[in-house]
A = this chain, B = another copy of it.
Amino acid sequence: MISSLPEQTKTPAPAGVFTLVITGAPYSSQAPQTALRFARAALAANKRIDRVFLYGDGVHLASSLSAPPSDELNLCDAWSVFLTENHIAGVACIASALRRGLVDESEMQRYQLTASNLRAPFEIAGLGEWVDSMATGSRVLYFHKGA
């Protein structure tokens, strides 16, 4: 394939804070799985993750109603546990979420819907959260669908 590893040419930038943006849906793309493995490795390497931002079809990761077969990884649950245990903010983009039927209690009331289905600790907020990550110098990594 591929040339050999190049020698180190200068000191790595101290990019110690990550924001992960997930745009691929669970059970449709591999994006949430890859992102979760990456996130665990990042914490193990003493990096900080300031925020996980769900955008586009990625908002389905915040569903509280996903019930995959018992012999498959429950990705929504695994992400919820990971974020809670590590005190990491999980944010679903409000515009993506409302279109795709993902709502918290306050949006449920505002739009007079019959239920809410946002899984804790995810919250719903605007793209300003993503802009904040971009502007404050976090290393923003995207996990898109692969097909």
Contacts and interface: CB of A to CB of B under 8 A. Distances in A.
Interface in A55-91: 56-57, 60, 63-69, 72, 76
Number of copies: 2
A60 B115 contact: no
Contacts of A25: 57, 100
B100 A27 contact: yes
Contacts of A63: 100-101
Interface stretch (A4-12, A32-40, A106-114, A132-140): A106-114
Contact of A115 (B56, B57, B115): B115
Interface of A: 25-28, 56-57, 60, 63-69, 72, 76, 95, 98-103, 107-108, 111, 113-117
